[in-house]
Structure 1
Amino acid sequence: MVIVLFLFISSLTAISHGLDETPSFPNYFLFGTASSSYQYEGAYLSDGKGMSNWDVFTHKPGSIDDGSNGDVAVDQYHRYLEDIDLMKAIKVNSYRFSISWARILPAEGRFGEVNLAGINYYNKLINALLLKGIQPFVTLFHFDIPQELEDRYGAWLSPQSQEDFKFFADICFKYLGDRVKYWVTFNEPNYIVPLAYRIGIFPPCRCSSKFGDCNEGDSEKEPFVAAHNMILSHAAVVDMYRNKYQTEQGGKIGIVLHCDWFEPLSNSTEDKLATERAQSFNIKWILDPILFGKYPKEMEMILGTILPKFSSNDKAKLRRGLDFIGINHYASYYVRDCISTVCESGQGVTRTEGLYQQTSLKNGVPIGELTPCDWLNVYPQGMKKILIYLKDRYNNTPMFITENGYGNLNDPDLTEEEYLNDFKRIEYMSGHLDNLMAAIREGADVRGYFAWSLLDNFEWKFGFSLRFGLHHVDFATLKKTPKSSASWYKHFIEKYTTESIVAEQTIEGKYQA
């Protein structure tokens, strides 16, 4: 098996990247893996942590496909040292993780006590990473929010969320920012908002009856209110970070978007316009206000007075912008117009807010290889295309690929060895990295790549039935075994990296791991 794997890796690398031994990445480039607190940590009520929205949601019968929850997840809260050893073994120099808001502020939001036990956990995690030469890349909000904020004022539907998020961020910067050089305010607001407030399948499960099975909500209005509060929360935190911490701590701050690539189903003007509408109701929905101070014109024309407005004070804070754009890219789709023609059901996913429909098929032919996950296809060219699109639209703001990966649905007929021989994942990563390098050669300022994910983990609605890990996890015992993709990723990093951005160091006193 080792010989077969070595030959496979060697041939795939030669085909994808040629025989040029010159490194294709700058020496400051971050290679890492990504995770989130709810999907990894477990210890859901340990050491003073409060209940998050996902703690509550997953305990309701029928919420998760396989009936599981993240109470234990992969237990990184207790096993972070062994996980860091796995990272070190595959030569990554950065680790993207998120902070559990409910672990830091378990009750009463900005009026409550800081849970120092939670701070201590993240201190230990960060110090242990730095001791191994691994740069922390930290997200403040990755879908989980204290449930008590939801109960008290509706979380992101209220402007109060802006003050609570700013207070939470301030604590994180104060206690952790001396060692964290990369901060992310929000992970995928353009993805979580429709799921939570339009079709209602993520907490707080709000939608109108015609959009989903919800007890309350307004699918036509609430998604744009929630996103507006997230955008203003981002602006408030960036403004505070720049004024209070950035000069002394020397870090950078950005936001992460879910970035699908869209192509017109035909060469018609209508489908081309629909494709741009698709980006307006996805990436541009969040980035245009942050970088241009206003929503995209397509949203303003279609939504009218439904779309919230920015005050002059809001616009002043939005001018602080961001230092980088994080890109979670997995799949690409064709887009057809639904304004000049009627889009029939069953032909794709209709996005009525933008009056377009997205599909993986064109005349019955998929845009790329389809996978058992209906939302994931293999179209590596989409990586280069989305990077060039963002480069051109946003003045080549520095970018990081903050998530990219391939998922396998659980198959009871597969043995553990068959799970470990994950050549489809290797092909997926190789193709996407090849296109990332091509985008860099065309001038895109891309500064890092984070594979999703180091470990098989709790994959939201899928629970433990969907595996994205470079390491196989036996969820009964939490035994972790490297897959073939882990070896491939290590080989790739060794081949195309000249030196690590973070030297191994000894940390003494309060920074001791």
Structure 2
Amino acid sequence: MQDFAHFADVCFRSFGDRVKYWVTINEPNHLADFGYLRGTYAPGRCSAPFGNCSQGNSEVEPLIVMHNMILSHAKATEIYRNNYKAKQGGSIGVIIHAFMYEPFSDNEVDVEAAARAFAFNVAWVLDPLVHGDYPREMRYYLGPQLPNFSAGEANQMKRSIDFIGVNHYSTLYAKDCIYSNCESGGYAIEGFVFTTGERNGVLIGEPTANPRFYVVPTGMEKIIEYFKRRYNNMPMFVTENGMSQISTPNENVNELLNDYKRIEFHKSYLSSLARAIKDGADVRGYFAWSFMDNFEWQCGYSFRFGLHYVDYTTLKRTPKLSVSWYRNFLTENITYMNQEGITRNHHPNKKYKNRKYIDVE
């Protein structure tokens, strides 16, 4: 924690005159899950039945790692607010990888399972940083296995973020594994929940290159509503949202460049986001993932999320069709909604006070 605090202090001191939005840790829930529960990300620690690693304890280490990341974030925030914020005027937050979870069935146990899925994946990070402790569901099911915060640590953590970054790609079903039989997964560390994108042989949405990422646009509105409700409508940024294509040695470049499905993906997800904003969600920004095809974690160059095609041999970048659409969306196809809910066309450079810009197509 002290090393992280020192690193953060160096960054604030060196770049704070130019950086106004600080993110301490990107997707800490993802790191704890894949780095220490399943062992597929660095440092590759896990234990059976979650993975086959040379070292690790999947039932314990993810909880310890998350605990240390939360305390590290809180310390960095304290340093920034005490020593830099008054002069630099910036904000500090954290980014969460957030699936939307739908109950596998209408049964009460699956409805509760969906709530636990949120608690064990999203609220695991954000509840301590907003409310000062882990979710009650985690305390109930994990008991003394879940680390405790001292009174001083709780005070330091509480309200230690100015905004929430939301990385949202897809929606999954959540199935209860306490009262129901689950074919795999659903252990205590996972909240006794099994998550899947398939129900009765039918996928929850159109599949993409990533086997867990399905196209379910309504999930954007719902996940933003969840954050709005649980965290008192704290300012939010959608920091990642996008669709992947398969990349192969013999790929058809023209098909990748004419990425109509990516355009439809962003149109539908942005429309869903617009509905959330119209309903009062304090969303301050949206970032498409990604500007260009890049190295995607352990998947390497096998997935293409970019708006620009990258030739991995020459590194030449070529705009995909989605670039033209996104440019037009940002510069020509903007409407504003005034406080009475009336929409009008306007030039994007013209300023309107107390109005939020949204796409209503």
The two structures have a TM-score, normalised by structure 2, of: 0.91
Residue 460 (1) aligns with residue 297 (2): yes
- The CA distance in 2 between the partners of 1:352 and 1:461, in whole Å, is 26
Match of 1:408 among 219, 223, 245: 245
Alignment-derived partner of residue 252 in structure 1: 91
1:336-375 → structure 2 map (5 Å cutoff): 336-345=175-184, 350=186, 352-353=188-189, 354-375=191-212
Gaps of 5+ in 2: 335-346, 352-361
Q: 1:201 to 1:275 in 2, by over 3 A?
A: same
Which deviates more, 488-497 or 298-307? 488-497
**Is the contact between residue 254 and residue 323 of structure 1 (CA under 8 Å) also seen in structure 2?**
yes
Question: Displacement of 1:413 after TM fit?
Answer: 4.2
* Structure 1 unaligned regions, length at least 5: 1-161, 502-513
Q: Which has the higher contact order (CA 8 A, sep 6+)?
A: 1
Spell out, residue by residue over 1:14-44, the C-alpha distance to the aligned partner (whole angstroms, 9 max, x if none): xxxxxxxxxxxxxxxxxxxxxxxxxxxxxxx
The CA distance in 2 between the partners of 1:422 and 1:412, in whole Å, is 18
CA distance in 1 between partners of 2:306 and 2:16 (Å): 29
Runs of 4+ in 1 over 6 A off after TM superposition: none
Query: Is contact 1:193-1:227 (8 Å) kept?
Result: yes
Q: Contact 1:255–1:322 at 8 Å: present in 2 too? A: yes
Q: Could you report, residue by residue, the CA deviation over 1:165-191 in whole angstroms, capped at 9, with x for unpaired residues?
A: 110011111010011111001100011
Matched, 1:438 2:275: yes
Output the amino acid matched with 1:249: Q
| Whole-angstrom CA distance in 1 between matches of 2:214 and 2:96 | 18
1:264 is matched by which residue type in structure 2?
Answer: P
Does structure 2 conserve the Cα–Cα contact (< 8 Å) formed by 1:239 and 1:320?
no
Q: Partners of 2:150 and 2:322 in 1: how far apart? A: 49
Q: Using the alignment, how far apart are the partners of 1:471 and 1:282 within structure 2?
A: 31
Of 81, 84, 95, the residue aligned with 1:242 is 81
Kindly indicate whether the alpha-carbon contact (under 8 Å) linking 1:238 and 1:320 is maintained by their aligned counterparts in 2: no
2:144 — aligned with what?
305
2:93, 2:37 → 1: CA distance?
26
Residue 208 of structure 1, CA deviation: 1.4
Match of 1:390 among 217, 227, 239: 227
Q: Aligned residues, how many? A: 337
Partner of 1:374, secondary structure, is: coil
Retained in 2: the 8 A contact 1:351–1:358?
no
Q: Equivalents in 1 of 2:159, 2:236: separation in Å?
A: 17
Q: Secondary structure, in 3 states, of the residue corresponding to 1:301?
A: helix
CA distance in 1, matches of 2:42, 2:263: 33
Residue 385 to residue 473, structure 1, CA distance change in 2 (3 Å): same
Q: Distance in 2 between matches of 1:190 and 1:417?
A: 37
- Alignment partner, residue 349 of structure 2: 499
Which AA in structure 1 matches 2:322? S
Please name the residue that 2:358 is paired with: none
Q: CA deviation at 1:500?
A: 9.3
Which residue of 2 is the match for residue 147 of structure 1? none
Following TM superposition, by how much is the alpha carbon of 1:367 offset from its aligned partner in structure 2, in angstroms? 1.5
SS at match of 1:281: helix
Q: Which amino acid aligns with 2:329?
A: F
- Whole-angstrom distance in 1 between the partners of 2:80 and 2:150: 21
Pick aligned residue for 1:212 from 51, 76, 87:
51
Deviation at 1:240, TM superposition (A): 0.9
Identity of aligned residues (%): 50
TM-score norm. by structure 1 comes to 0.64
Matched residues in 2 for 1:420 and 1:382: separation? 27
